[in-house]
């Protein structure tokens, strides 16, 4: 299973919502995909981080860096070629990354599983 598929399935298993995958391959030399998703509470967000660590370990992927876990409102998981932004609903609306990346193509989440 690819890293991207592992991330998507783990986010869904963590009951995160509104998953959007941006195809950044022609936009960034640093990563291929950026994912934006929402947790309806900070506890669910922290649980997703733990699930992701376990999924990466089981798949044999290099570990990812975590930024923002202390506040649990916007957490960034840097998996190298896949970067995941986990937001609470309020933080996602405030930062509105969808507006910034409106011209970046998105991928069908269901096709990636």
What average pLDDT score do residues 65-94 get? 92
What average pLDDT score do residues 92-110 get? 95
pLDDT digit string, tens, across residues 5-27: 999 999 999 999 999 999 999 99
**Percentage helix, strand, coil, to 5, in the chain?**
40, 25, 35
Residues 22 and 19: their CA atoms lie apart, in Å, by: 10
Of 5-9, 25-29, 35-39, 61-65, which range is least confident?
61-65
User: pTM for this one?
Assistant: 0.92
Residues 109 and 90: their CA atoms lie apart, in Å, by: 23
State the average pLDDT for the chain.
Answer: 93
* pLDDT band at 70; cut points 50, 70, 90: confident
Name which CATH class applies to 3-112: alpha beta
From the DSSP assignment, how many helices (H) and strands (E) are in the chain?
Answer: 4, 6
What's the pLDDT at 62?
Answer: 87
């Amino acid at each position: 299973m690819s890293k991207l598929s592992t991330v998507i399935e783990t986010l869904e298993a963590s009951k995160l919502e509104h998953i959007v995958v941006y195809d950044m391959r022609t936009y960034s030399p640093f990563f291929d995909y950026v994912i934006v998703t929402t947790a309806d509470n900070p506890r669910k967000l922290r649980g997703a981080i733990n699930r992701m660590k376990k999924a990466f370990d089981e798949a044999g992927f290099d570990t990812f860096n975590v930024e923002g876990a202390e506040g649990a409102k916007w957490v960034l998981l840097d998996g190298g070629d896949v970067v995941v932004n986990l937001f609470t609903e309020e933080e996602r609306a405030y930062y509105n990354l969808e507006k910034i990346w409106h011209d970046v193509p998105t991928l069908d989440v269901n096709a990636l599983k």
